Amino acid sequence: MPRKATPADIKSAAAIHDQTLIRGNGGELHQVTEGETEVLTTALGTPVSDDQNTLKIGERGPTLIEDFHFREKIFHFDHERIPERVVHARGYGAHGFFETYESLAKYTRADIFQRPGEKTPAFVRFSTVAGSKGSFDLARDVRGFAVKLYTKEGNWDLVGNNIPVFFIQDAIKFPDVIHSVKPEPDRNFPQAQSAHDNFWDFISLTPESMHMIMWIMSDRAIPRSFRFMQGFGVHTFRFVNADDESIFVKFIWKPKLGMQSVVWNEAVKINGADPDFHRRDLWNAIKSGDFPEWELCVQLFDQDFADDFDFDILDPTKIIPEEIIEPMPVGRLVLDRMPDNFFAETEQVAFMTQNVPPGIDFSNDPLLQGRNFSYLDTQLKRLGSPNFTHIPINAPKCPFHHFQQDGHMAMRNPVGRANYEPNSWGQGPRESPQRGFRSFADAEGGQKVRLRAESFADHYSQARQFYDSQTEPEQRHIAMALTFELSKVETPVIRERMVAHLLNIDDTLAQTVADKLGIRTMPNPADAAMPPRDDLEPSPALSIINNGPNSFKGRKIGVLVGEGADAGLLKKLRQAAKAEGTTVEIIARRVGGVKGSDGDHIEANHMIDGGPSVLFDAVVLLVSEESAEVLAKETAAKDFVSDAFAHLKFIGFVAGAEPLLASAGVAADADEGLIALESAGSVQPFIEACRKLRLWTRESAVKL
């Protein structure tokens, strides 16, 4: 029987494990009993005083390169895997361009933002975080959104995610959070899933993760497509202008097609039907000329705002709500070409947060500082040579000149006698104080310390704000996701610790999760370093449903056809879909297709067994009564209908389809999401209804 969590349980992982075997200095095994804790050391045995914070100048200052414990920890982590990436191993990329709207010379000297209308070549890689290269696309996970811009003054890598915050505040904890979410080392499963003890043990002991947990348990973590998700730079950066004046900046990518996610039951079935769903979607969109597009927006603010804002702008677990600082559009990103070879480009591309052109600079965000330190080491290990910048996908497209030479797989070397600087031969490049990168001359001071700033201590208020900003269906999905994930956790006290944290976010959410998990006695709220606030206004911009698209553009309709399908109605549907920017795909009992009512052949894209409704955003049943009765006897056809209904999709149908609807347990008049296509005039209203994407009022009836 589960026992009630004690304060000691909530504070320390040691309380869960009665005994552990460790290897001592002499190599012998000895037993550590409850109450005895071994001292953490470096690999060479040096005791570690603080494993929570990197060494900085002052509590909010930059990270020091002399931090040997962090260097060793991140160095070892970076070299754990060969040859795939440790994180973001499963990715997919495309080429395109970035077009600048207006000059931002007032704020930054970055060349990319100087000339309106100028187009800069770009390469973007989307990815999941936790899974391996062979995992599936629709895992509940953060999505990487890494953009490489080949500017005229060097490559700029904006290495972000589809979620604007992260699990941790200091990079020294990055190996720990990733270790916890990866397959457990003794059993090597589960793959690409966070629903296991190790992850939730770490999270339940890391209150700073609670804001991120609300995002990762929301629909943001199961996007319908790369094309329908936002991207964020996560950290606070600086713009620096020609006069060396600085302003803070946060970067946001907003999809022109609007945001859309799937529901969890649908995600599970998509992974079974097409584990490459996101990859195929991006490939098909670009190959068909339906180029994905995002708008780059910036939130700009000065030091006075930073000093007065409710939260620390250096804290990567916090956002600045759009209602406080409205994002300003500064350009657009268009993806219009797939790589010629996946390995040569998508697999070998190397992104590094420290790749910034003059005019863009860093803040003292401790997670960003650690990423800057780590990424170069990662690329050296993964690509096998310091000359990975010679690989075409990584090479700049502007002129470059330096004295670096030799090394494994060098493709070019300095020419002439001089391979050093300065030299008296008049050979080679020289530094340029005017054109070169200059860091903003911020004044720093303080002791060398391992401390977390008190301004980083509020771990629950923005988590509560995010939850309060969601619509009722979205809040329900967060509760369902937490329940599912924690139901896979075998250790009761970990589940109780998480419920204790949820009590600091929302009482109803905590009670719902506790009830579903069968927790009979509610724990006390987790100790909070800073009392959670309840006066933060909801931010409507944080809801996907409240920010849905105004059209059905970029989506896909699956049309299930039978022999004698109404050819005129199908033609009208295709015309209306094309005008909307929507794709129509045909599903039949056989890939060979069927004969239409006009005697012409209707070619099918899928057979019913291989084209389930989870692959489409809306469905149409274009079958006669006779063919409907045949399909009604096939499980795949009944699932096609029942899943579309359960996943809240709009269903268009002709009168002859009613036997198939009935066999799937769906009444033709169940709700307004079932639309009878009685004539060609019914098609346009159906398309317009589909613009809502989902009929959320149905969800309480299907109770997935």
Tens of pLDDT, residue by residue over 412-451, are: 888 899 888 888 998 888 888 888 888 998 999 999 999 9
| Domains, the chain, with CATH or none | 57-390 (2.40.180.10), 459-545 (1.20.1370.20), 554-702 (3.40.50.880)
Whether 12 has a pLDDT exceeding 60, the answer reads no
CA distance 329 to 331: 6
State the pLDDT at residue 428.
85
Between 149-153, 285-289, 436-440, 622-626, the lowest mean confidence (pLDDT) is in 436-440
Instruction: Pick 42 or 121 by higher pLDDT.
Output: 121
Strands (E), 179-223: none
Q: What is the pLDDT of residues 465-518, one digit of tens each?
A: 999 999 999 999 999 999 999 999 999 999 999 999 999 999 999 999 999 999
245-270 core/surface letters (b: 16 or more CB in 10 A; e: else): ebbbbbbbbbbbbbbbbbbbebbbbb
> In this prediction, what percent of the chain has a pLDDT beyond 70?
94
Q: Calculate the CA dihedral of residues 178, 179, 183, 188 and round it to 10 degrees.
A: 150
Cα 156 from Cα 100, distance rounded (Å): 14
pLDDT of residue 253: 98
- Lowest-pLDDT range of 143-147, 439-443, 654-658: 439-443
Could you list the beta-strand ranges (E) of 437-512: 448-449
pTM of the model: 0.90
- CA pair distance 424, 578, nearest whole angstrom: 67
> Residue type at 169?
Q
pLDDT score of 591 more than 60 = yes
What digits encode the pLDDT tens for the residues 613-632? Answer: 999 999 999 999 999 999 99
Distance of CA 150 to CAs 107, 155, 387, 532, Å? 20, 5, 18, 43
Say what the pLDDT of residue 28 is: 40
Q: E strands within 6-118?
A: 19-23, 29-33, 56-57, 91-100
Answer whether residue 30 shows pLDDT above 60. no
Cβ neighbour number for residue 430 with a 10 Å cutoff: 8
Alpha helices in 217-365 (DSSP H): 264-273, 277-287, 303-308, 342
pLDDT of residue 84: 82
Q: Which tokens belong to 439?
A: 């860091």
Backbone angles phi and psi of 377, in degrees to 5: -65, -40
Confidence of residue 579 (pLDDT cuts 50, 70, 90): very high
Q: Name the residue with higher pLDDT: 437 or 292.
A: 292
Sign of the torsion angle spanned by Cα atoms 243, 245, 250, 254? negative
Q: Give the closest residue to 532 by CA, choosing from 562, 499, 503.
A: 503
Closest CA to 325 of 243, 251, 220: 251
Q: How confident is the model at residue 67 (pLDDT cuts 50, 70, 90)?
A: confident
Which residue, among 130, 275, 190, has the nearest Cα to 614 in the 3D structure?
275
pLDDT averaged over every residue in the chain: 92
76 a catalytic residue: no
Q: Which of 155, 161, 372, 394 is catalytic?
A: 161
Q: Which two tokens stand for residue 548?
A: 């849905």
Give the pLDDT score at 22. Answer: 34
Per-residue pLDDT, 198: 98
Which of the following is catalytic: 88, 95, 278, 501? 88
Work out the average pLDDT over 250-256: 98
CA-based nearest residue to 628, from 556, 566, 701, 557: 566
Q: By mean pLDDT, which of 381-390, 524-533, 678-687 is the weakest? A: 381-390
| Per-residue confidence (pLDDT) for residue 21, from 0 to 100 | 31
The pLDDT score that the predictor gives to residue 36 is 64
pLDDT confidence band for 7 (50 / 70 / 90): very low
Give per-residue pLDDT as tens, 109-123.
Answer: 999 999 999 999 999
Given a cut of 70, is residue 14 above it in pLDDT?
Answer: no
> Which residue in 613, 618, 627, 617 sits closest to 655, CA to CA?
627
161 catalytic, yes or no?
A: yes
**pLDDT computed for residue 35 by the predictor:** 57
